[in-house]
Structure 1
Amino acid sequence: MPQHVRFDLPFNTPVSPHLEYARDRHLLWVRERGLVRSQAGFEEYQSWDLSQAAARTYPHASADDLVVLMNWFSLAFLFDDQFDAGRADRADRIAEVARELIATPLRPAGTAPRVVCPITLAWVEVWEYLSNGMSLTWQARFAASWGRFLVAHCEEVDLAARGMAATLGLDAYAGFRRRTVGIHHSIDAGERSRGFEVPAAAMAHPLMERMRDLAADTIGFMNDIHSFERERRRGDGHNLIAVLRRERDYSWQEASDEAYRMTTGCLDEYLGLEARVPQMCDELGLDADERARVGMGVEGVRHWINGNYEWALTTGRYAADKDGPVATAELAGRGSVDDLLTM
């Protein structure tokens, strides 16, 4: 089964010692904020174990910061599960809420949302905390990456609503997946989790830009492989294996094998570029402190590649053999039993 597919990653990453503390407070928060309303929805959400994902991808965050990062994780995943192309008005409502989520980091922190629903209210709260202490440069970078991610999701919903989700070719899908996976802003949040910022000159260097793109490709393709059985059951064509099968007339096994090859190819290219980071630092004339911050930035990318991989092997979000109310909702085209786009 694809969720059990293993990749040979040449590095390990730690798990936060604050996992249990943060998980308890996070689960209380999602209930109090109305992000999970039904018992079935709460049980499904617990099975995803996003708390483990946050503890693996941000292992050096303080206990309180880790709670906030878990809270932020919930917003992106729960928003993704609001998509229901079977309802004529759903795409418009998703776009309206997405615009509000995009606008929040561009306003003064704490500004009340203009579109009110559980997700927008929770995001205002999370962003006020997440942005605290970070420079305007970092905030603008995060906001741009976050915005691209949300716009891509709106495009995905629109394609599904128009029956065009299964029309993307491989190249178009790969570029699209790079945005929908949401890794760029997630790596940005790694800086917030440790209270540092990668020097702007290094962040803008083509080497770092390519490394971030390759990390996004690696993680996105890994997720496609691990979630394939679940998405196949739902009839979701937004998956690398499905695209390869359709475009190249592969069998499912051939498509899975090629997806694996593409994923390891992205990882190998990433590792090759990572080895050139010291040379980049020399080229830019970075001092010892700046080099240390670049090193932490690269470490943050590693945390995301490995941490997300370890989480994906066990999360209930990718399980293909679920039954019950949530599974029934998925078969009807929805990922969640709770509507979070209305009050």
Structure 2
Amino acid sequence: MDEWFRSWGLLRDERQRTVFRRTDHTHLAAVCWPSCDADTLYDLARLAAVLMARDHEIDTAPPEQSISMARAFRSEVSARYGLGGGTGADPRWTPVFSELWHSLSTRRSPRFMDRCLATAPTEFLTGCLVYRRRSGNATEADELTAYFSTRRVTVAQRIDHLLAEASLGIELDDEVLGDPLMSRLLDLDVDRTILIQDILSAPRELAAGESENIVAVLSAALGCTTPRALEEATVLYENLTDTYEQALTALLGSPSGRDHDVRAFASALNDFSTGLIEWTSHSVRYTQAETSNWTKPDEIVARGR
């Protein structure tokens, strides 16, 4: 997969190429979507790599330039990455995304591709624009409610919900997706993903002066030290985990929960969360380490039970 990505020449210097290689997106896909067939796993690993590389490029650009880049990317999403005959907004990235969407579309329905191409990515990029504008105006996200409101979009977990379906070879219908119990579970899954990523990546992000992290937000809001804020964030995560388990039990005990695909999808959400903890804890992308140190697969499975 790394060779495929590097063949596009999107990484501008050797340091970027080194970080990309050490990040190990194939491992990410394997631990987050363990039920995938080989072809789908390859596509999801490539998609994860491209989305993160594109997001990193936008994140590290100067504020005004990053806003322009995010707008162009959103325009590109709306144009379906050139699949409808358009040329797209970025000659560097359009061909990469087009190849990926074409590959995914050979195994997915047009309805799924519409959801994958339009709804989730556009919501994500709109949220990124909101955050970039706020960052450009030097306005702190110092209130918990305001922080979660924006972060729920920038975390991109709605895209991962779609990829969980793809990993299982299923497509949830509108009735299931509109079930209030399912909506509740997905909302909580987004929040737990925010807390997992923020807590585990806090040492690296705070050392770099990053403010888009729950630990930094709590420290500013409570006027407390970073260790105290980390304790508060951990309590939030523990409480949210209990709430998530209650919501899961309610869904599985409902008429929707008797559906095989719904139960498989709910299990896949937990697989993803377990894999995300493993990858975020050990990947050079989110830690201060120089190399990624992966946990043995049998230990990951045991921890996820």
1:117 equivalent to 2:91? Answer: yes
Following superposition of structure 1 onto structure 2, how do residues 206-245 of structure 1 map, counting pairs within 5 Å? 206-245=180-219
Q: How far is 1:110 from its partner?
A: 6.5
Q: 1:223-265, CA deviations, whole angstroms, 9 ceiling, x for partnerless residues? A: 0011112111221100000000001112111100011111122
Return the alpha-carbon distance in structure 1 between the equivalents of residues 242 and 105 of structure 2.
Answer: 33
Question: Which residue number in structure 2 is paired with residue 13 of structure 1?
Answer: none
Q: Which amino acid aligns with 1:226?
A: L
Distance 1:59 1:48 in 2: 18
Structure 2: any 5+ residue segments left out of the alignment?
292-305
Which consecutive unaligned segments of at least 5 residues does structure 1 have?
A: 1-25, 324-343
| SS of corresponding position for 1:35 | coil
Q: Using CA pairs under 8 Å that are at least 6 residues apart, name the structure with larger relative contact order, 1 or 2.
A: 1
Structure 1 match to 2:249: 275
The offset of 1:187, in angstroms, is: 1.5
Distance 2:194 2:282 in 1: 17
Counterpart check, 1:300 vs 2:276: no
Q: How many Å apart are 1:29 and its aligned residue?
A: 0.9
Residues 187-206 of structure 1: matches in 2 within 5 Å?
187-206=161-180
Root-mean-square deviation over aligned CA pairs = 2.2
Are 1:98 and 1:154, in contact at CA under 8 Å, matched by a contact in 2?
no
Q: Does structure 2 conserve the Cα–Cα contact (< 8 Å) formed by 1:215 and 1:267?
A: no
Query: Letter of the aligned partner of 1:209 in structure 2?
Result: S
Q: Spell out, residue by residue over 1:120-167, the C-alpha distance to the aligned partner (whole angstroms, 9 max, x if none).
A: 321111112223343343333333122111111222222222212x24
Q: 2: distance between equivalents of 1:162 and 1:31?
A: 35
- 1:52-67 superposed matches below 5 A: 52-67=27-42
Q: Is the 8 A contact 2:200 2:286 kept in 1?
A: yes
Q: By how many angstroms is 1:321 displaced?
A: 5.3
TM-score by length of 2: 0.87
> Once structures 1 and 2 are overlaid, which stretch shifts more, 292-301 or 109-118?
109-118
* Offset of residue 168 of structure 1: 4.3
After superposition, give the CA deviation of every residue in 1:296-340 in whole Å (9 maximum; x if it has no partner): 1111211211111111111001122559xxxxxxxxxxxxxxxxx
**Equivalent residue runs for 1:169-180 within 5 Å:** 169-180=143-154
User: Is the contact between residue 79 and residue 86 of structure 2 (CA under 8 Å) also seen in structure 1?
Assistant: no
1:191–1:297: 8 Å Cα contact kept in structure 2? yes
Question: d(CA) in 2 for partners of 1:172 and 1:319?
Answer: 26
CA offsets, 1:37-64, max 9 Å, x none?
4322111112222221111111122222
8 Å Cα contact 2:252/2:263 also seen in 1: no
Call closer, same or farther: CA 1:87–1:145 in 2, change over 3 Å.
closer
Distance 2:219 2:63 in 1: 28
Shift of 1:32: 0.8
Aligned-residue offset at 1:209: 0.8
What SS is found at the alignment partner of 2:93? helix
CA distance 1:303–1:35, change in 2 (3 Å): farther
Could you say which residue in structure 2 is the equivalent of 1:320? 288
**Any idea what SS the aligned residue of 1:275 has?**
helix
1:86 aligns with 2:65: no
- SS of 2:138's partner is coil
Count of aligned residue pairs for this structure pair: 289
- Give the Cα separation in 2 of the matches to 1:158 and 1:120: 25
Quick one: percent identity of the two aligned structures? 23
Question: Please, which of 75, 79, 93 is the counterpart of residue 99 of structure 1?
Answer: 75
Q: For the structure 1 residues 167 and 183, does the alpha-carbon distance in structure 2 shift closer, same or farther, using more than 3 Å as the test?
A: closer
